[in-house]
Each structure stands twice: as structure tokens, then as C-alpha cells.
Amino acid sequence: MPRYSYTARDRTGASSSSNIEASSRKEALRLLSARGLTPLRIDEEAAQGSKASRAERKPTNPSESHSSTQPPSPRRKGVTKGPSRRERLPFLTALEDLTSSGLSAGEAIRLLSIRIKEPQLRALSGGLWERIGEGASLSSAMLAFPDVFDTASVNLIQAGEATGSLNDVLKRIIAHLTEQRELRRQLVSALAYPVFMMFVAVGVILFFLFYLLPKLQTLLSALGGELPTSTRILVATSDFLIHYGVFLLIGGAMAAIAFWRWYKTRPGREAIDAAILKLPLLGPFAVSRTVLSISQTLSVLLENGITTVEALRMTSRQIVNTVHHGAFEEASNRVLEGEALSQALGRTSCFPDLVLDQLSVGENTGNIVPALKKVSVTYQQKITQQLNVFTKIIASGVLMSVFVFVGFIAYAIVSAVFQLSSSFKM
């Protein structure tokens, strides 16, 4: 059986060199992975001192691909669509569960590729295992799935592999992604009730205008007499919507499409984002969301050994508002020139003074990561409070509008009935 000499690193980051017997080079890699070792170099020992020099070098840059022959996003049989970003969190959670139990990353992914029943996760695990089985590191294997793993996650995984702290990195990534998912869930939950109330309100209004009111109009016309002003306004509105409502609907749809296309352009996006910051409720929420995104992402990246340059560049990608995005990039350039982050952000006039003070204290004491985490916790709570207030205001406004409109309809109908009844008595 062939023998292979190798140099590998264990979970603590210590390097060691030895020999192993295996039927093939791929089998040797699998055996090393099962032992919790990450191969740095493996050579097949040939006769009389000659070696079939096949060096396995772990990439130092996650942008280096392990094999030019591998397709960027392979699809397994029975899967019509490749894995997407939604598989990232469940996959990393399952991987962390296995690696925290003592398995190496390679062996954990091999087990996931066999045991997971969900097709997309199975395809993702199988694709990663194919690359790891050929000697690629976990971070370089993840690069073949850009639709699943973003650059920040890949760089964090690479840092964990280099320092032997992959489990800790996985836990921090999972915590970060879970917080982001919770924020999206809160946002959707906060908007669900107001949107539902708006649909109900529109349904009630349309029912009155298109069904109930025409029947009452026929009855009132048969009785004859002069209708009150409120009733005439209501009847005129109903007639207008019945005859021209379709044209209004088409015009509104065309206007919405034109607005959406303009919003997708850079000037349109910048104009809308700038206008949002000036609104009473949406402006403070947009600021809070930006501060939360910066503090969460930057703290995770810096805590896991990512350089300041890379951390700032990756954090800027997470900022949704274009005004804040441009301000943060401007501040990042000043930081790279040697200016403190708190001072650079202060020059933009886009961030709260209290946040800048906390960052300044963290920089002066050398505890910038704890300061960012504290800001993250504070603004997570603040966003929750803002969403609750936003939900109550929207729901109350919708209900009040419905009550006012229904009350107006009731008043118009009752006043018409009373006026017509008094005309009969006379």
C-alpha cells in the first residue's frame, strides 16, 4: 500500500509531520481529516528517495480557487436549483453542532452530505465535501458557492482555520446571522398587522362604494326629493369610481412601475434615502438600523482577527441607506489615513453623538470591540421599541381612517333618509 508523508495542523494550530498508509491520496486526506488534522502538504513516497511531489498548500487568500476544473456552483441530481443564501444559517448551525462534538470540519461535512435529507442542504454539503476531499480547505471550498456564503463569512472561516479556533468563529457567525434574522422577523411582524388592517379598510370602503351605495342610491332616487350635500358627495364619488376606477387603477400601476424604476437608479435611490432620513418616524429608524448594522458586523469581524481595512470594507456592504453608505466609506478612508473611527464618523454628521462618544472611549481604552458590542445591544433594543411604536401608530391611523369614512357614510345615508322622510310628511 502506498505511503504518504504529510505536514498537517491540529485543532490547536500546532503543526506536525509524519507518514500515513492509504490506498490513494484522496483516502489519505480523508484519514487525516478524520483525525482532526488539516493537511498543509502531502507527498506520495516513491522508490529510492524520489517523490511524486504533489504539494497541498492551503490558500492564504480566500480568493484563490483550489481547482480550476471545478464548476463554481455544481448541481446534484434531483436538484433543479442550486443552494441559496437561506441555507447558510442552517448549514453553519449543523456544522457547529458536529465540530463542537469533536469532529473535524471535513468529517462533519462528510456526515452532513450523507445524513441531511433536505435537498438544498444535501447538495451544499456534498459540493463542499467533494472539494475538501480533494485537499481544499473549508474556506476555499466555500468560495465555490458565492450565492450561499458571502465574503465576510468566508474570511472569518479562514481566520478560524488559521488560528485553530474554527468552533469559536462558527459560534460568532451563527450568533450574528441569528441577530440579523431576528431583526428581519421583527420588521416583518411589525408591518404585518398594519398591512392587514389596510387591506381590510380598503375592502370595507370598496364594499360600500361599489355594492351597498348603488343599491341605496336606487332606493333614494325612487323616493325622490332633494338629497343632502354629504349624500351627493358620496354618490358622486361612487359614480366616478364605478365609471373611471379602472383608468385610475391602470394609471396608479403605471405610476408605481415608473417610480420603482426610478428608485432602482442611483440618483433615485439617493433621493429617496435622503428623504427618508428627514421623516419623523422613518428617519430615526433608518439611523438606528445603520448603527446596528455597523456595530454588529464590525465587532464580529474585528473580534475574529480580520484586519481593520478588510473589516471596514466588508461593513460598508451591509449598510442599506445610500447616504449612510457614502458617509461610512468617506469615514473609512479617513481611518485608513490614520484618523480615529469616532472622529471620522463624527465629521459625516450622520451618526448620533452618544454612539460616537462610546466609540471614542473604546478606542482610547483599547476596547473597541466591547464598545461596539454594547452599542449593538443598545440599538437592538431601540429598534424593537421603534418598531412597536411604529406598529401602534400605523394601526391606529388605519383604524381611525376607517372609522371616519364609515361614519361619514352612515351620516350621509341617515341624513338622506331623514330629509326624504320629512319631505313626505310635509
The model's pLDDT over 48-89, given as tens digits with 9 standing for 90+, comes to: 443 333 333 444 343 333 333 333 334 444 434 678 888 888
DSSP 137-158: -HHHHHTT-TTTS-HHHHHHHH
| 392: in domain | yes
Arithmetic mean of pLDDT, 155-171: 79
Whether residues 289 and 393 fall in one domain = yes
Q: Which of 201-215, 296-310, 324-338 has the highest mean pLDDT?
A: 324-338
Residue 11 has pLDDT above 70, yes or no: no
187 has a pLDDT exceeding 80: no
CB 363 within 8 A of CB 355: no
List of residues 6+ apart from 42 with CB closer than 8 A: 4, 5, 6, 7, 25, 28, 29, 32, 54, 55, 56, 135
Strand blocks (E) in 223-366: none
pLDDT at 147 over 90: no
Residue 13's pLDDT is 61
Residue 80 lies in a domain: no
183 shares a domain with 144: no
Position 424 pLDDT exceeds 60:
no
Question: Residue 259: is its pLDDT beyond 50?
Answer: yes
Asked if residue 330 and residue 208 are part of one domain, the reply reads: yes
Q: What is the pLDDT of residue 87?
A: 86
**388 and 323 in one domain?**
yes
Confidence check: pLDDT of 251 > 90 = yes
Residue 346 lies in a domain: yes
Q: Is the pLDDT of residue 162 over 50?
A: yes
| Residue 262 banded pLDDT, cuts 50, 70, 90 | very high
Share of the chain above pLDDT 90, in %: 6
79 in a domain, yes or no? no
User: Do the domain assignments include residue 132?
Assistant: yes
| pLDDT at site 260 | 93
- Do residues 29 and 135 lie in contact, with contact meaning Cβ atoms separated by under 8 Å? yes
Q: Measuring CA to CA, which residue among 24, 25, 23, 20 is closest to residue 35?
A: 20
Identify the pLDDT of residue 184.
81
* List of long-range contacts for 189-195, beta carbons under 8 Å, 24+ apart: 190/387, 190/388, 190/390, 190/391, 191/391, 193/391, 193/395, 194/391, 194/394, 194/395, 194/398
Residue 127: pLDDT above 50? yes
Residue 383 has a CB neighbour count (10 Å cut-off) of 20
SS3 for 236? helix
H/E stretch holding 121 reads: helix 119-133
Average pLDDT, the chain: 79
**Beta bridge mates, 39:** 8
- 402 and 299 in one domain? yes
Q: In this structure, are residues 234 and 210 in contact, taking their beta carbons and an 8 Å threshold?
A: no
* Domain boundary, last residue among 129, 149, 169: 149
| Statement: residue 390 has pLDDT above 50 | yes
Tell me: do 284 and 238 sit in the same domain: yes
pLDDT value of residue 253: 93
Which H, E and C letters describe 319-346, residue by residue? CCCHHHHHHHHHHHHHHHCCCCHHHHHH
Residue 361 forms part of a structural domain: yes
- Please state whether beta strands 38-45 and 3-9 pair in parallel, antiparallel, or not at all (unpaired): antiparallel
Looking at the fold, whether 186 and 241 belong to one and the same domain comes out as yes
Whether residue 156 is contained in a domain is answered as no
What's the order of all strands across the beta sheet hosting 51-52? 15-21, 3-9, 38-45, 51-52
pLDDT at 257: 95
Please tell me whether residues 310 and 358 are part of one structural domain.
yes
Residue 255: predicted pLDDT: 94
| CB 109, CB 73: distance < 8 Å | no
pTM: 0.63
Query: Are residue 32 and residue 123 in the same domain, yes or no?
Result: no
- 117 and 186 in a single domain? The answer is no
Count of domains in the chain? 3
Q: Does pLDDT of 47 surpass 50? A: no
Q: CB 356: neighbour CB atoms within 10 A?
A: 17
Confidence of residue 34 (pLDDT cuts 50, 70, 90): low
Quote the longest CA-to-CA distance of the chain: 126
Q: Whose CA is closest to 269, among 324, 222, 210?
A: 324
Q: Are 8 and 37 in contact (CB under 8 A)?
A: yes
Residue 208 identity:
F
Q: Which residues, in sequence order, are CB contacts of 62 under 8 Å at separation 6+?
A: 139, 140, 142, 143, 151, 154, 155, 158
Range of the domain at 21: 3-52
In a domain, 167, yes or no: no
**Residue 118 belongs to a domain with what CATH number?**
1.20.81.30
- 279 and 423 belong to one structural domain: yes
Looking at the fold, whether 107 and 247 belong to one and the same domain comes out as no
